[in-house]
Amino acid sequence: MKAGYYVGDYTYEVRDIPDREPEKDEVKIKVAWCGLCGTDVHKFQGKNGASVVIPPIILGHECSGIVTAVGDECEHFKPGDRVACDPSWGCGKCEWCKQGFPNFCEKRHGVAKGFAEYVYPPESNVYHIADSLDLEKAAFTEPLSCALHGMDLIHMESGKRVAMYGMGAIGSLMLQLIRLTGPRELIVIEREEEKRKLALELGATMAVTDQEIEEIAARENIDYVIECIGLKSTMEQAIEIAGKNARCCCLVWGIRNRKLNLISSKHIQKNLAFIHLT
């Protein structure tokens, strides 16, 4: 089968690699669609994602497809099933997995390298999708789950003023989820003009630059701030613009490799409810 490899130094190539049958509880899936994540771009640029990148590696992790075969120990899937994948495997045994945080697993690794004709995740990482759901849209399952996780963490109440950073894939999904909470005002912070236009089309009350949001925060109390970019500068500013009794969620990956000066006496005085780094 063919697979797309990042081989280092901004170089990407398609290789022929051996196909195989699934083992134990593996589910062999013919990939129909795979999203291009910002993490894939970062890896192509020679940066790390949530884990260290050692090329050559197959990129892609936001995939959907059709089951073509299953291992002998697989119980819940059969050929022909339409599915989506959770690309991140946790051991289920370490301290973090037992607390319900497999994303922090000590042995965590990817099991759905979607820039290939087939992937072989264990059935614990595979999900049935409805016949009514288009396979192209089903490829959004993984990024949408990340956005939903952020919404679960921040416990957003209706009728509040919300600020959100970034109109990439995650930010675009998050904006649409925030709208469903009935915010009093939904302000998107985005430097690119075209993305600010998209924010307004998707229902933002206003779309501003990172300079303009500081002026707004100086006169209006911002109740919730969600950061969907992952830059040190925007994460720190997200804390700065949070108002009194505010809640802030930084929806980022690889946070253990970042050095942030997030907490200061000013934040304590504002009674910032919590900061959550995913």
Q: What is the pLDDT of residue 272?
A: 53
Q: Which two tokens mark 50?
A: 């949530």
Q: Are 171 and 164 in contact (CB under 8 A)?
A: yes
- pLDDT digits over 68-90, tens only? 999 999 999 999 999 999 999 99
Asked if 36 and 121 sit in the same domain, the reply is yes
Q: Is the pLDDT of residue 111 over 50?
A: yes
Asked if 157 and 263 sit in the same domain, the reply is yes
Asked if 158 and 251 sit in the same domain, the reply is yes
Q: Are 22 and 71 in contact (CB under 8 A)?
A: yes
pLDDT confidence tier of residue 55, bands split at 50, 70 and 90: very high
pLDDT confidence tier of residue 264, bands split at 50, 70 and 90: very low
Asked if 10 and 124 sit in the same domain, the reply is yes
- What predicted TM-score, i.e. pTM, was given to this entire model? 0.86
Q: Is the pLDDT of residue 179 over 80?
A: yes
The stretch 133-145 carries a mean pLDDT of 96
Cα–Cα distance between 101 and 124 in angstroms, integer?
15
Asked if 25 and 119 sit in the same domain, the reply is yes
Domain with 114 in it: what CATH number?
3.90.180.10
Q: Domain total for the chain? A: 2
Residue span of the structural domain in which 264 resides: 145-277
Asked if 6 and 133 sit in the same domain, the reply is yes
Give the bridge partners for 83, in sequence order. 65, 128
Asked if 178 and 98 sit in the same domain, the reply is no
Percent of the chain with pLDDT over 70: 90
Q: What is the pLDDT of residue 231?
A: 85
Asked if 133 and 154 sit in the same domain, the reply is no
Q: Is the pLDDT of residue 257 over 50?
A: no
Q: What is the pLDDT of residue 106?
A: 86
Going across the sheet that includes 224-227, the strands are 206-208, 185-189, 161-165, 224-227, 247-250, 275-277
Cα–Cα distance between 208 and 204 in angstroms, integer?
10
Q: Are 153 and 276 in contact (CB under 8 A)?
A: yes
- pLDDT digits over 92-108, tens only? 999 999 998 888 898 98
Last residue of a domain, one of 139, 159, 175: 139
The stretch 193-220 carries a mean pLDDT of 97
* Contacts of residue 92, Cβ cutoff 8 Å, sequence gap at least 6: 98, 102
